[in-house]
Copies of this chain bind each other. A is one copy, B any other.
Amino acid sequence: MSTPALRQPLARVSGLSDHYRAVRSASLALTSPLSPEDLMVQSCPEASPGKWHLAHTSWFFETFVLREFLAAYREFHPDFHWLFNSYYNSLGDMPAKSLRASFSRPPLADILAYRTHVDTHIDRLLAANPNPEALRRITLGLHHEQQHQELLATDIKHALFTNPLHPAYLPPLAASPADSIAPPLDWIAFPAGLTQIGSSPAEERSAKDSREHEAEGPASVIDFAFDNESPRHTVYLAPFSLAARPVTCAEYLAFIDDSGYSRPELWLSEGWTTIRAEGWQAPLYWHPDTSTPSGWRIFTLRGWQPLDSSDISEAPVAHLSFFEADAYARWASRQTPGARLPTEFEWEHAAAQLPCPGPGSNLLESSNLHPIPASAASGLQQLYGDVWEWTASAYTGYPGYRPLPGALGEYNGKFMSSQMVLRGGSCVTPATHIRPTYRNFFPPSTRWQFSGLRLARDGQ
C-alpha cells in the first residue's frame, strides 16, 4: 500500500495557491488508507470522526473566507454552516461534539464534493487578487487544517486501537532501521538573563506578509503565528540547563519498574487521583505482553511493536499525560537534583537558536508516524517533531494578549484555563506547521496525542 502524499517531499511552494493545494491534498492523502466506515469512528471524547475533520476544515474556509470575501459566493449546502461548526459560539448554536458519531449523512462522497467546491472557490478568490485580510484568513485556514491533520492521525490511531481487533493504519516500514541506541543524556546550559518570547503582533507581521505576497515569495507561508503567540515580550530567565534529547521509552520503563505508578509521593495530587481512577500503569498504547522480554508491546499506527526492538525502546516515550511527565521528572530528580520539566519560556529560548525544522526532524512528511531514536550527534536534538514536550507552564495569555476580533477570537483564547503548554510538534505534525513560538495546549490528563517530555534543571 502506498501513501504518496505522506511521502511527498515538501516542495518549496511558489506561493499561497500552491501551498493551499498541497495542504488540502495532504488531508486526503491521510485518509487514503481508510474506508468510509473508518472515517465514522469517534472513540473518545477528545476525538472526532475523520469525515468530520475533512468537512470542518472546509467549513473553516467557507465560513471565514468565502462567505466574507468572495462576492456572490453560494454555500455548498445550507445546513453545513451550523452542522460543521466546532465550537464558535459567536456563529450560533452547533451540534454537541458527541453527536459527530451520528453523521452517517452527509455521506463521505458529499464531503469530498464539499471540499472540491470550497477549493474551486478559493482558487477563484486567489485569482481575483483579494485583500490582505482574505490572504491572512486563508493562511490561518491552512494552519487550522494542518492542526486537524495531526488530530486526524491521532484520532484514527485511537479509533483503531479501540477496535478490539486493533488493525494497523499502515503496514510496518519495510526495512527496519539499523539497531540504534539513544546517546546518554547530555545537558545544555543557558545563563540567566532577559530574553524575548513569542511572536510579533499579527498586524505587524501581516503588513510584512502583504508586501512579501506581492513578491510571490514563500515567506508568507512560513511567517505565521496564532494569536496566542503574541505579543512578543520580555521574560527574565534564571540560569537553567536543558536535556539534549527527550526521555526515551527505555528510561521511562525504568520509572515503571521502580514502582513509579505506585508511589504517591512522586505525583501531583490530581495526577494520583487520575491514575488510580483510570487504572493507569503505563503510557497509553502500552500493553502488557508476557511473550516479550520487556513484558510490553506498544500499539503504533503501523501496528503492534514489541518494546524490545531498539527503534521503539530508544525512541522518545509518547502518549504521556502531563501528570506522568511530571511524575517522571520528580522521580528523575532523585538522581539528578533539580530535574524538572522546563518552562515554555526556557524551551523557546533554547529552540529559537536552532533551525526549524531541523535537517532530520521526524515530522509527518517523514512517514514514520512514530518517534524515532535520537542520533549520536551532540547538542540539542529532537526539539521539533517526534513528541510534543509537556512544559511546566500553564496555558495563559501573554502580557498584552488580544484575541483576534470576532468569532476567530474563540480560536485559542477561550481555552486559557486548566491546560498546560506543550512545545515542538510531533511525528504527525506537518513540517510547515511548526515553529519555535508555537504553543500547543491540553488538559493535564490528556494522553491521546504524541506527548512526551524533555527534562530541565536549575542552574548551569
Interface segment among A100-108, A306-314, A355-363: the answer is A100-108
In Å, the complex CA distance between A146 and B22 comes to: 50
Q: How far is the CB of A228 from chain B (nearest CB, A)?
A: 13
Q: How far is the CB of A191 from chain B (nearest CB, A)?
A: 13
Chain B residues near A41 (CB-CB < 8 A): 40, 101-102, 104
In Å, the complex CA distance between A238 and B198 comes to: 14
Residue of B87, B269, B392 touching A414 (CB-CB under 8 A): B269
Chain B residues near A38 (CB-CB < 8 A): 104-105
A213 close to B (CB within 8 Å): no
Is B235's CB under 8 angstroms from A236's CB? yes
Given contacts A36-B37, A396-B394, contact A102 B238 (CB under 8 A): no
Given contacts A37-B37, A418-B444, contact A163 B103 (CB under 8 A): yes
In Å, the complex CA distance between A269 and B416 comes to: 8
A259 close to B (CB within 8 Å): no
Residue of B105, B160, B235 touching A163 (CB-CB under 8 A): B105
Is A37's CB under 8 angstroms from B107's CB? yes
Contact with B along A242-285 (1 / 0, CB 8 A): 00000000000000000000001101111110000000000000
Is B79's CB under 8 angstroms from A165's CB? yes
Interface centre among A101, A396, A409, A443, by most B CB within 10 Å?
A: A101
Q: How far is the CB of A38 from chain B (nearest CB, A)?
A: 4
Is B104's CB under 8 angstroms from A268's CB? no
A43 close to B (CB within 8 Å): yes
Chain B residues near A233 (CB-CB < 8 A): 238
Q: How far is the CB of A203 from chain B (nearest CB, A)?
A: 15
A71 close to B (CB within 8 Å): no
In Å, the complex CA distance between A43 and B102 comes to: 7
Interface centre among A163, A400, A417, by most B CB within 10 Å?
A: A417
Residue of B87, B95, B194 touching A269 (CB-CB under 8 A): B87
Contact with B along A83-107 (1 / 0, CB 8 A): 1000101100001000101111111
Q: How far is the CB of A109 from chain B (nearest CB, A)?
A: 9
Chain B residues near A340 (CB-CB < 8 A): 397
A119 close to B (CB within 8 Å): no
Is A37's CB under 8 angstroms from B417's CB? no
A458 close to B (CB within 8 Å): yes
Chain B residue, CB-CB nearest to A338: B400
Is A393's CB under 8 angstroms from B392's CB? no
Is A108's CB under 8 angstroms from B418's CB? no
A323 close to B (CB within 8 Å): yes
In Å, the complex CA distance between A167 and B79 comes to: 12
Chain B residue, CB-CB nearest to A37: B104
In Å, the complex CA distance between A87 and B273 comes to: 12
10 contacts across the A-B interface (CB closer than 8 A)? A37-B107, A83-B165, A90-B264, A101-B101, A102-B164, A105-B160, A106-B165, A240-B399, A265-B409, A399-B458
